[in-house]
A and B are shown apart, each in its own frame.
Chain A
Amino acid sequence: MSEFLPTGIQLSYLVAASLFIVGLKKLGSPATARQGNFLAAVGMLLAVVATLLERQVLSYEMILVGLAVGSLIGAIAAQKVAMTAMPQMVGLLNGLGGAASALVAVAEFWRLMGTSQAIPLDANVSMLLDVFIGGVTFTGSMIAFAKLQGLISGSPVTFPLQQPINALLLVGFVVGSGYLLVAPENLPIFLAVAGVSLLLGVLFVLPIGGGDMPVVISLLNSLSGLAASAAGFVVMNNMLIIAGALVGASGLILTQIMCKAMNRSLVSVLFSSFGKAGVSGGSG
């Protein structure tokens, strides 16, 4: 009996992962797309139910409440959103997913801080990657959403010393991470590193024009997959690693296809406004 449940959970994960793969495949062709989406949703439900049965999950009440609240908000939002607002809706949802992945790392860091055991190196690296990718995805998606929704100007936002500031932040992240790898138990530094990641997400998307936002959202979608995968390494869960890697890789290919459809290269989409600051006035 004690072996039965864990085996069942792992097999459920295997089925769910297969459903994700078949679902993604079917989503790529018009005749089967709807069915593919449905299969992926079934896979997700299966994965969530299996996880609830994991032995380490001790308290259910609050988790079920959280799942219910999230489902309700998600369902209402999906009903209310206008058809024309779909790209920014996807961007918004994507940002929430990235935030969730980053929060998993922060929560796990906090949990490990509370225990007497030292934080192992591999867990530490996974958490830092998770916080970085998840953080950038969260704020980057929010800026993309705000641009498409017209909350902020859709034209590229540039300011003096933009590149040096970005480079400086990136260096700050690397230095902070390096420090944490040597001396892991330092919450303020960990939170500072998380803050830098959030800031980098904002600065990464600000200089990109509104017309290019769908490509950026696709790229951020790929990133949120990688963030989920990193979260999988944090809690050592194959389901998370597989699904995250699937989205990360397929999202990257899709981003490239979308660039090609616009006759642009990804590099020019991401960095064109850096080179000629202030010249381009073409808003989306």
Chain B
Amino acid sequence: MTEALIAALFVFVLASFTGFEVINKVPPTLHTPLMSGANAISGIAVIGAILVAGANQGRVSVILGLIAIVLATINVVGGFLVTDRMLQMFKKKEVKA
């Protein structure tokens, strides 16, 4: 195995532990918004799509990459906006102006 792969595995495992620790005792009303916010973050795939499409090697790869960019961007933008809409509903005690 290459050194780069080992380093990447370290990053993956440590980030996973962080993800486990970040979530605790979430009130039920926040389940859906939290799921939605995390879902928007998983749209990070857009970065992979940009890298593949931007490499500009082979027409099929570029086209597939571009489709992936559009889909992932819908996920990101739609995800964050939808989460914000949900959270606006809870705004009873004026959460930060």
Contact B57 A101 (CB under 8 A): no
The digit string for A78-109, where 1 denotes a CB below 8 A from any CB of B, is 11010100110110011011011101101110
**Which residues of chain A are near B33, meaning CB under 8 Å?**
27, 33, 37
Decide yes or no whether A232 CB sits under 8 A from chain B. Answer: yes
Chain B nearest CB: distance from A63 CB in Å?
6
**Interface size grouping (class) on chain A:** 35 or more
**How many Å lie between the Cα of A90 and that of B31 in the bound state?**
12
Which residues of A (170-184) have their CB < 8 Å from a CB of B? none
The digit string for A228-268, where 1 denotes a CB below 8 A from any CB of B, is 11011111111111111111111111100110010000000
Neighbour of B44 across the interface among A81, A236, A243, A258, CB < 8 A: A243
Neighbour of A115 across the interface among B2, B42, B57, B77, CB < 8 A: B57
**Which residues of chain B are near A225, meaning CB under 8 Å?**
38, 41-42
Q: Which residue of A lies closest to B84 (CB)?
A: A37
Interface of B is mostly: helix
Q: Which residue of A lies closest to B27 (CB)?
A: A30
Q: Which residue of B lies closest to A66 (CB)?
A: B69
**Which residues of chain B are near A279, meaning CB under 8 Å?**
none
Contact B89 A83 (CB under 8 A): yes
Which residues of B (9-28) have their CB < 8 Å from a CB of A? 11-13, 15-20, 22-28
- Other A-B pairs, 18, CB within 8 Å; known A100-B49, A100-B72: A21-B22, A27-B30, A27-B37, A34-B96, A44-B41, A56-B51, A56-B54, A57-B55, A66-B70, A70-B76, A74-B75, A74-B81, A101-B72, A104-B65, A107-B53, A218-B31, A234-B48, A251-B38
User: Nearest 8 CB-CB pairs, A to B?
Assistant: A70-B73, A249-B19, A57-B54, A74-B77, A74-B78, A78-B81, A245-B15, A100-B72
